[in-house]
Amino acid sequence: MMRPFLTQPPLINSLSLCRQIDLVLVPCSGLINHTKMKEDQMTIANWCVLAACVLPVLTVGLAKAGSARLARKAGGYDNNNPRVWEQGLTGWRQRANAAQNNGFEALPLFIAAVILAQQSHADQGRIDSLALAFIALRVLYVAAYLMNQGTVRSLLWAGGVAASIAILVMA
């Protein structure tokens, strides 16, 4: 009986399939170093993605909580008309709402950078470190925004963008 030229490896699970495909399709590049972790564990960078998604909600929550005790007519939060409430904000509450908007604007680059770097099997430790730096910079950014420190805020914003770009170029 003749052996087929290329046999298909048995399918055990999707992770094993990916490893088998790596070995079959790219035999000249050697073995790809896969992270030795359980499939259901999240990396630090993945937790940072979650934190980056929650941070804008917490930021605007400060403004909403600060006006929750007020009556709607006195500037309290109006869940039926949140855009009208938003237009009447002043001071730190207005800045908290602006920081929330900027937080959502920063998400696409950061999330894409983390996903692409991880998919290209870049150094996970470096991805994690830069993701933690991004979160720290974003928290400091919100604090600077609330304290009306424009120059500091802009420098922290630039640092956050630089961290995202540094992760992205690892891909």
Residue-level pLDDT at 31 = 42
Report d(CA 129, CA 127) in Å as an integer: 6
Burial 22-59 (b: 16+ CB within 10 A, else e): beeeeeeeeeeeeeeeeeeeebebbebbebbeebbeeb
Report d(CA 43, CA 124) in Å as an integer: 8
Residue whose entry in the numeric block shows the structure tokens 């309290």: 76
User: What pLDDT, in 10s, does the model give residues 48-99?
Assistant: 999 999 999 999 998 888 777 777 777 778 788 888 888 888 999 999 999 9
Looking at 1.25.40.850, 1.20.120.550, 3.40.50.300, 1.10.3720.10, the CATH number of the domain 44-168 comes to 1.20.120.550
User: What pLDDT, in 10s, does the model give residues 101-131?
Assistant: 999 999 999 999 999 999 999 999 999 999 9
Report d(CA 101, CA 77) in Å as an integer: 17
Report d(CA 163, CA 45) in Å as an integer: 12
Domain spans, the chain: 44-168
Tell me the average pLDDT of the chain.
82
